[in-house]
């Protein structure tokens, strides 16, 4: 990537990581391309990087670049074309009493408690289940991100916010949203809160007349990543350009 891709004429530095264990397939070895995290232009580079198939984790903007494996495919939804399918309409109807609130990307004790419950239920033994406030901030917020938190809460008739059900960390950039990470009440699996969070993010992007919602990486046949293909239409990045996904 050279000067023509960046906001000014300074060269953009991109690094290869060393080999490390794959976070998706335990028997595979992975490595990534990482944009220079010390580059002071990162807040301006990041929207461009999303269009190059990169993703953010904390302050790190990366893209898988594994030897002999192309399983991770960056995908995004062109939100103006999205129409929920029958299952997604049922999810919206089942959660009609849930309201979405867009709040600053600032950790609260209520959010942290839900995050820790979610990790203990969904990622026990994976290295994240002991995360505290510092890890929460480093992983989900970072120091320069464009993030907002979309809270899903039970609607109440009285004063004050209802029970917190889900938090979707969402980056807001010019003409797009990016779904960074979502955690939700693990005891309410029948509510489909992960699906609901994406549907509400799509509605948010539509209200703001944004072109895309970036979903990160789709991995075919992976039990935790294959769900993204249910959100149609979907566009996939082939390393050079975005194309409609079959």
Residue-by-residue DSSP string for 16-41: EPPPEE-SS-TTSEE-EEEE-TT-TT
Radius of gyration of the chain from Cα atoms? 18
CA distance 165 to 184: 6
- Reference 140, options 120, 116, 169; nearest CA is 169
Beta bridge partners of 9: none
Map out the domains of the chain with their CATH numbers: 3-71 (no CATH), 76-103+139-244 (3.40.630.30)
Indicate the pairing of strand 73-78 with strand 212-218: antiparallel
pLDDT per residue of the chain (246 residues) written in tens, 0 to 9: 443 444 445 789 999 999 999 989 989 999 999 999 999 999 999 999 999 999 999 999 999 999 999 999 999 999 999 999 999 999 999 999 999 999 999 999 999 999 999 999 986 655 566 789 999 999 999 999 889 999 999 998 877 789 999 999 999 999 999 999 999 999 998 999 999 999 999 999 999 999 999 999 999 989 889 899 999 999 999 999 999 997
Q: What is the DSSP letter of 160?
A: S
- Sign of the dihedral through C-alpha 207, 147, 217, 92: negative
Q: Which tokens hold the place of 145?
A: 């991100």
CA distance 70 to 238: 9
């Amino acid at each position: 990537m050279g000067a023509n891709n960046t906001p000014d004429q300074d060269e953009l530095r991109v690094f290869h990581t060393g080999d490390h264990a794959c976070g998706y397939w335990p028997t595979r070895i992975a490595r990534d391309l990482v944009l220079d995290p010390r580059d002071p232009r990162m807040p301006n580079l990041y929207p461009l990087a999303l269009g190059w198939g990169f993703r953010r984790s904390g302050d790190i903007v990366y893209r898988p670049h594994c030897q002999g494996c192309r399983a991770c495919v960056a995908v995004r939804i062109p939100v103006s074309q999205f129409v929920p399918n029958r299952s997604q309409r049922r999810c919206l109807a089942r959660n009609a009493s849930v309201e979405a609130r867009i709040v600053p990307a600032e950790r609260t004790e209520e959010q942290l408690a839900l995050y820790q419950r979610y990790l203990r239920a969904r990622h026990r033994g994976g290295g994240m289940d002991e995360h505290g406030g510092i890890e929460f901030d480093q992983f989900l917020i970072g120091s320069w991100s464009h993030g907002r938190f979309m809270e899903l809460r039970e609607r109440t008739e009285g004063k004050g916010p209802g029970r917190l059900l889900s938090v979707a960390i969402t980056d807001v950039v010019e003409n797009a949203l990016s779904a960074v990470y979502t955690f939700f009440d693990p005891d309410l699996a029948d509510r489909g809160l992960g699906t609901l969070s994406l549907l509400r993010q799509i509605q948010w992007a539509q209200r703001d007349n944004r072109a895309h919602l970036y979903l990160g990486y789709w991995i075919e046949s992976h039990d935790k990543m294959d769900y993204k293909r249910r959100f149609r239409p979907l566009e996939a990045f082939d390393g050079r350009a975005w194309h409609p996904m079959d």
